[in-house]
Amino acid sequence: MFSKKCRLLTLEIMVLLIIGIVMVGSSSRVWAAAKFQDATYFMSRQAVFALLGLFVMYVASRISLVHVRRYAKRLFLLCVVALILVLIPGVGVLRNGSRSWFGVGSFLIQPSEFFKIAIIIYVADYLAKRYRIKSFRKDLFFPAFLVMIGFGLILLQPDFGSGLVMVCSIVIMVLAADSPLSYFVRVGILGAGGLGGLILSAPYRLARITSFIDPWKDPLGAGFQIIQSLFAIAPGGILGVGFDNSMQKHFYLPEPQTDFIFAIYAEEFGFIGSVLLIGLFIAVIYQGVKIAKNCTDPYLCYIAIGLTSLFAIQVMINLGVVVGLFPVTGITLPFISYGGSSLMVMMGSMGLLMSIAKES
């Protein structure tokens, strides 16, 4: 029997799913009709992904993470192998310049999404055995090494956004393990240096930074997406232009059903609608924090923190990119953006949160 927290979390997720399906349909209608001669192409597939996601969430809510703990290392290694295999030409599918998927045709699976869950479970097991961090070299070197392996493999795809979300989630888990802030200052300085090196090493990343600082410097190139995103948000005003009345989805904003779907939502539903949607995201995060807070088992608590952080960081970065606060990273908006792997993994993580609520 689900607790009150689980029922409320399920209701919030169902509302977000419905909004997501409707918005994928609205934002992609023009694009899908021109490309596939079917205006409902993306919406119908998103509805199928949502149904599969509900099944995944139900199954995940019935999984005992206490029993999964003994397989944490194997799950992690399996996902690492998948990240290596996806880089091999002929095995991994190349799409939009990234070799990040397995699959055939339109059925694609992104292993980096599953890796995020695997590393959260493995690091939670590791931290729970120590409970309090006393030495960086003794207690934090190993999880830092795991993060570097995962981040490096994801970066080779390249998928900087997914790697960034994973790193931030693990950092929050380690902070929750009562780690001294001085450790993070040192790591932060090293990380900032490494991040600067990564940006300078890839021209497309440098272009994203320069377009973030001044998108009008290259309005038809690197700055095009963010400019069109802002052009979508601005006319929305207080109440929006009305459902399905967006102008930017008429080939101005590229593939609006994916990372920049919030721009179309803000254009159609305005400031009030945007506040309500963000309120729903905050409500899901709040339920995740409550579940983590009520855990008596440190292992389950760390997993709940990691899963909640995964969701919260993804929402924050996506919304920040759409309104021009962050450089473009290619991160989807949970439950709203079009995409099968990201939706099902996010639904699975919510199911695991429900499982933790029941076990605690």
The answer on pLDDT for 205 being more than 70 is no
Q: What is the pLDDT of residues 170-196, one digit of tens each?
A: 888 888 877 766 666 766 676 666 666
The answer on pLDDT for 4 being more than 80 is no
The model's confidence at residue 1, banded by pLDDT at 50, 70 and 90, is very low
Other CB atoms within a 10 A radius of the CB of residue 209 amount to: 14
Continuous segment of H or E residues that includes residue 210: helix 203-213
DSSP summary character for residue 295: -
322 versus 220: which is more confidently predicted? 322
Separate counts of helices (H) and strands (E) for the chain: 13, 3
Report whether 5 contacts 357 (CB < 8 A): yes
Q: What is the pLDDT of residues 16-32, one digit of tens each?
A: 999 999 999 999 999 89
Residue 147, φ and ψ in degrees, nearest 5 = -65, -40
As beta bridge partners, residue 102 has 109
Non-local (6+) Cβ contacts of 298 within 8 A are: 127, 128, 131
CA distance 109 to 113: 9
> What does 83-117 look like in DSSP terms, one character per residue?
HHHTTSBTTBEEETTEEEEEEETTEEE-HHHHHHH
Q: What six digits make up the tokens of 8?
A: 């409320």
- Per-position b or e across 294-325, b if 16+ CB within 10 A of its CB: ebebbbbbbbbbbbbbbbbbbbbbbbebbbee
Report whether 294 contacts 305 (CB < 8 A): no
| Alpha-carbon separation of residue 120 from 181, 298, 327, 334, 359 (angstroms) | 21, 13, 26, 18, 18
As beta bridge partners, residue 108 has 103
CA distance 75 to 115: 9
The answer on pLDDT for 141 being more than 80 is no
Residue 186, φ and ψ in degrees, nearest 5 = -65, -50
- Kindly report the average pLDDT of the chain as a whole number: 85
Read off the pTM. Answer: 0.89
Q: What six digits make up the tokens of 359?
A: 């076990």
CA distance 100 to 85: 10
> What does 53-67 look like in DSSP terms, one character per residue?
HHHHHHHHHT--HHH
Q: What is the pLDDT of residues 85-136, one digit of tens each?
A: 888 887 777 776 677 777 666 667 888 888 999 999 999 988 888 766 555 5
- Per-position b or e across 251-285, b if 16+ CB within 10 A of its CB: ebbebbbbbbbbbbbbbbbbeebbeebeebbebbb
Report whether 287 contacts 356 (CB < 8 A): no
Amino acid at 255: E
> Between the CA atoms of 351, 63, 84 and 155, what dihedral angle is there, to the nearest 10 degrees?
30
3-class DSSP assignment, residue 235: helix
